[in-house]
Every structure is written in structure tokens, then in C-alpha cells.
Amino acid sequence: MDHKYKISFRIGDASFDLESTDLDWLENKEKDYVTKLLDKGGKIVKPAERNDHLQSTFRSQKLTIKEFYKNYIKANKITARPDLVVFFVYYLERILKKEVIKASDVIQCFADISYPNYNKLNVPDLLTQAKRKALLKYVNNFWSLTITGEDFVLNTILDKVQ
């Protein structure tokens, strides 16, 4: 019978639980997660602070959709179209600060990056697929990110930055 090892870690609002029969794997993952929770100065990086820092960086650079696509979507090899629409909604909502996001806005993002055959894409279906994954929500005929969707984008971006 294998022994199960479990590690729980919590500092303030940040926490994680790991469980495995492989102690070496567990210790390596613990180091990885603790490193991700702590910044270089040894203080906890709260998700809101991380998000504010990234957004201010994006705005200060006056990031265009083409640059956002090149630096954060293409660089992270995001190719699934439902994931692409989540990144586009993030760009529109968090970087451009659009309060109203329609499917036509997302189609325009595909057009702006010169996505092949963008005019033949069924963007409402792609948005619905992302909604089924709980990455987007559709309220009052407008699209927006869920907390899960924002975490998906930020974690993907931060994995590249680190």
C-alpha cells in the first residue's frame, strides 16, 4: 500500500493543497507554488496587485491588439479559438476599458490581427464555447470575463513573463 503525502500551505488569502504518493514530486511542486506566491522581495503577490500591475503596464505601453496578440497569445501558443476569444475579451475589457462588448467587437479583433478567414468564423459559437468553460459570461446581450476567465488569461501571461 502506497503512503499518501499531503502538504497544505496558506499565507493570508493565498493557499494551496497538494497530495501525492510521490514525495519528490510533492516537494518540487511545493517549491514551485511557493515561488509563484512570493515575489523577489519575499512578500505575497496578491492577484489584484498582479492584475493592476499588468494592466498599468499594458496601458502605459499603449498596447495595440496586434502587439497583445503577438506578445501574449501567439508567444504562449494559444491556438484554440474559444481561448482566443477569451484573450480578446480580456483585451477589450481590461486594457481598452470597454464597458460593452459585443460579438462584433471580438470579430473586429480577429480582423485587426489578420486572422485567416476571420469573416467565416462563427464567433457567437466560439463565445458560447468559452462560456461553457466558465471563462466568459453573457448578461444583457453583452460579453464579459468571469473570474475564472481572468485567471486563465493572467496565469497564461504570467507563465510567459516569469
- Residue 40 confidence (pLDDT): 43
Is the model's pLDDT at 19 over the cut of 60?
yes
- Residue 136 confidence (pLDDT): 95
* 13 and 92 together in one domain: no
* 82 and 149 together in one domain: yes
How far is Cα 21 from Cα 4, in angstroms, rounded to an integer? 5
Rama region for 102: left / alpha / beta (φ>0; ψ in -120 to 50; rest): beta
* 74 and 102 together in one domain: yes
* 157 and 89 together in one domain: yes
* 21 and 93 together in one domain: no
Query: Considering its fold, how many domains does the chain have in total?
Result: 2
Q: Which of 103, 109, 84 lies closest to 144 in space, CA to CA?
A: 103
| Summary mean pLDDT of the chain | 80
pLDDT band at residue 4 using 50, 70 and 90 as cut-offs = confident
pLDDT in tens, 77-131: 989 999 999 999 999 998 898 999 999 999 999 999 999 999 999 999 999 999 9
* 40 and 53 together in one domain: no
33 is in which domain, residue-wise?
5-44
- Residue 66 confidence (pLDDT): 93
pLDDT band at residue 41 using 50, 70 and 90 as cut-offs = very low
